[in-house]
Structures are given as structure tokens and as C-alpha cells.
Amino acid sequence: MKFYQRKTFWLVIIFAYAVIFFRWHAISIHDEGYGRSWYYGDGFSGRNVESAAKFYLDSGFVRNYSLPTYYYTDAIQNNNSVYTHYPPMSEWIGGVFASITGHWEGKYIALLPILLSFLLVIVIYKFLSEILNDDKASFISGSILVLSLYFIGYVDDIHQHLYVELSKWSFVYLWWRHLKFNTSHVYVLVLWCLYFIMCMLSFEPYIYIAILTLGFSVVLQKKWLSWQMVVIASAPIIAFSLRLYLNTLHLGSFEAMLADMKGAFINRTGGDSNWSELGHAMTLNDYLFLLPKTRFTRLGHFYILPTITLIYLGFLGLKSIYRKNKELFRLSMVIYVACISWIFVMPQHALIHVFTLKHMAILMGIIIGVGILQYLDLFKKHFTEKKYAFLLAHGVFISYSVFYVAINTVYLLYLKFGLAYPHFGKEPYYVIDNLFF
């Protein structure tokens, strides 16, 4: 049964978008609570997009060489600053939207990513159903993703999150189809555009997509050095060159641009305590303890189930995939390497920003549904064989998982920072970070 033929699919969509539209209506990017910060969004970046959109509406795109202008909407006189450190396409999108509609406010701009999110839903379910060749497993995985913070918390974000995720899923799906089924060369042009767009939205897809592009070619036994690879590889080069060119025009010289980007790199990597977002240079303790701990803790927040449950189900899923489809297992390993690459490229950024867990989404989609079905088979086997010790362990495992979902997703996401906002308060629930994985 296709995903759209299931009544449950439409129930999932109706519920997810009920929460999404309530959040869109009730929680402004200027909200002082945690409804759009930390785990539940990126209101800070949203305010920057809003500022840039208003500036583009008032002054056009030529001024400041199209670079985004921040703090333009502040009440403080002459507090404006031209931002050069991050790809500007989300601000450009906001500016184009404002120029067309006359509305620069974040609430209006957010209607665009919400609209595009329907396309992301289709890509998620369709890609998973094709690559897994299992309608039930793919439906379970797709539904977990759509009902999770990964989707609900960021669908109406006017910064890069929705745009990047839609482009990323589309790229992986089309690249896989192109290599697997020798599709039309038009795919390569579309793939180039998707990669270019991602690189103009964020630095994070640079290495992620590069690993996937090369890794998929190797696994599917295609020439790793082909004209398609060369064309696709040119996208990040051209995107980054364009970024440097605009910065050079604005700053006045190539040397000034290099100094500016060097400072941004030090700031994002934690290489210097004077520039670091973390407040100090990255230490061995950060690498060995804090970074793994934060990644481990946050995974469950992003994907409904607690991290321990996700790891166990993921192991069952990978074990089943390895047994039945070696090719898909190798593709999953490539995706896993791509998922964790940002930790090594920009460790401090990965430590500071919880939303970088979005890179795990495609891997989660491939393995979790399969893992849940494998777990159900295992539970039935132990129940039929009356293995009471195992059944006791199942009881603890299931109770723990259900309790976590009830607190972390139902209460915090669907109610406190969702349909009941702000009646349960606006403060974060830090105890969950410390007690529940």
C-alpha cells in the first residue's frame, strides 16, 4: 500500500500541521520564551532574515552588494551591520518575498517554507519507500520524522533549515536514482542546482553532500571520476567563490575579505578564546566529553524516541538491512559518515547548535522503521516462547520509551511549545537533558 493510500498517513499530516500552524500563529520569532530557541527553533536567525528582508524592501538588492543587513529593524539608530560570514540565500529569499508581497515580517515569510514543506513530506515518504522497498517500514520511518521536532519545530523557520532539508532529501533521492537506474542527464543539472542552492544557504551541506556524492558512486560501482561528478563538484566551488567575491566587493579588498573569513572560521571552530562562541578555545575535554554527551542527549529530542531506544532500534534495523541488502547497508554507512562529518569539520558549531542533529534525518529514516519491525518480531517471539526474563526486559524498555515520548514529545513539543502555548510556561525543561537520554 502506497503511503498516501493509508488513512493513517492523512491523520499524521493533519495532526503535524495542526501543531505547525498553531506554532506559526502563536509563537513569534520575537517571543521571549523558548518556543523558538534552543531545541524548538532558531528565532535569532529568523530575526536576522526579517531584518534583511525589510532592508531589501526599502533599499533594493544592489546596496551592500546584496549582502544581508542585520539589526535594521531595531529601534536603536544606526545599529545596522552587514553580515559577511554566512551564505545569504535565506535572506535573499526573504527579500524577494518581501519585494513581491510588500510584507517583510517573519510570520508572512514563514508561509513560504510551510508551503514547501508539503513537498518535503512527499520526498521523504517516496524516497524511503523506494530505497527500502518496504511500504510498512518506510511509512513508519516517514511518520516518525514528520511527527518529530526535526520537522514540526523547523517547518516554518524562515532561515535555512527547511530549504536545506528539502534540497538535501531531493539531492540524495535523485542522485541515488540517477546512479541506480541510469536516468536522464537532466538529473545532473537538477542535482547541480540543488547543491548550489544548499551551499548558498549554509556551509553544512558542503562536506555532507560531497561525501554522499562520492560514496554513493563507489557503493553503486560507478566511476567515481566521471563528467557527472565533475559537474556536481563545481557547484560548491562556484557558490563559495561567489560568496568570497561579494565579500571582497563589500570589504574593499581581497586581503580584508581573507582576514574577515579567518576571524569567522576561528569563531566557529573554537580555535581562539577571544573569538569563540563557546567562550573558550575547544579543549580536549570538549572533544572527549562535552561534544559526545551533547550529541547523545539531543538525538532523542529531535527524533521522538529516547537516544538509547534509537540506537538499539537502529542496530536492529542495520542488522536486518545487512542481512537482506548489502548494497543498502553500504549506502547507510556512507550516509552515517556524512551525518557525523560536521562534528569534525566544525566541532564547536556542532556543540553549540542543537539543530545540527538534522543531519541524522536520512539515516534515521532508513533504519528506524526497519528496526521497529524487527523489534516487534523479537517481542512476539519471546512472548510466544514465554521467555519471562526477556519479557520483563521488554516491559522496562517499552515503559521507559513511552514515558520519554510522553514527556519529551507529547508534553514539551505538542503541548507546552505547541498547541497549549504559553499556558504551561515558556521556560525550558532542563531536567530532561540531565535525566533522560
Band (pLDDT 50/70/90 cuts) for residue 272 is: low
Sign, Cα dihedral of 263, 269, 272, 276: positive
DSSP annotation of 69 reads E
Tens of pLDDT, residues 93-143: 999 999 999 999 999 999 999 999 999 999 999 999 999 999 999 999 999
Which range among 32-46, 162-176, 257-271, 418-432 has the greatest average pLDDT? 162-176
Euclidean distance between CA atoms 349 and 43, whole angstroms: 17
Euclidean distance between CA atoms 220 and 211, whole angstroms: 14
Report the chain's terminal Cα–Cα distance, integer Å. 34
Average pLDDT over all residues of the chain: 92
Angle between helices 326-345 and 307-324 (to 10 degrees): 140
Tens of pLDDT, residues 208-228: 999 999 999 999 987 777 888
Band (pLDDT 50/70/90 cuts) for residue 74 is: confident
Band (pLDDT 50/70/90 cuts) for residue 263 is: confident
Tens of pLDDT, residues 297-352: 889 989 999 999 999 999 999 999 999 999 999 999 999 999 999 988 888 888 88
Euclidean distance between CA atoms 426 and 423, whole angstroms: 8
Instruction: Give pLDDT, residue 191.
Output: 97
Residue 237 scores a pLDDT above 90: yes
Tens of pLDDT, residues 56-70: 999 999 999 999 999
Alpha-carbon distance values, 163 to 152, 156, 243, 354, 418 (Å): 14, 10, 18, 18, 22
Instruction: Give pLDDT, residue 431.
Output: 56
DSSP annotation of 34 reads S
Residue 85: CB atoms within 10 A of its CB come to: 14
Residue 77: CB atoms within 10 A of its CB come to: 6
The ranges assigned to domains in the chain are: 3-374
Instruction: Give pLDDT, residue 366.
Output: 98
